[in-house]
Amino acid sequence: MRKLFQKFRRTEEGAVTVDWVVLCALVVTLLAAGYGNLKTATLDLSTGTRDYMSTATF
C-alpha cells in the first residue's frame, strides 16, 4: 500500500487535465456572465431608443 501511495504522489499525468478543466469552466462561467450583462444592456438600449423615437416629432 505504501508503494502504491508513493507512486501515486510521483505521477503527475492527470494534473494537466485538471488544470484545463478548471480553466475551461472559468471561461464558460465568465462568458455566461458577460452574455447576461450584454443582453440586459442591449434590451435597455433598444427600449430607450424605442421610447425616444415614439415621442419624437419630425
> 1 or 30: whose pLDDT is higher?
30
Supply the DSSP symbol for 47: H
What is the three-class DSSP state of 23? helix
Supply the DSSP symbol for 38: H
Quick one: what percent of the chain has pLDDT higher than 90? 53
Quick check: pTM over 0.75? no
Phi, psi of 56 (to 5 degrees): -75, 145
pLDDT for residue 5 is more than 90: no
| Boundaries of every domain in the chain | 12-55
pLDDT of residue 36: 85
**pLDDT, average across residues 1-28:** 83
Residue located via cell numbers 504522489: 9
Comparing CA positions, the residue from 32, 53, 31, 51 lying closest to residue 43 is: 51
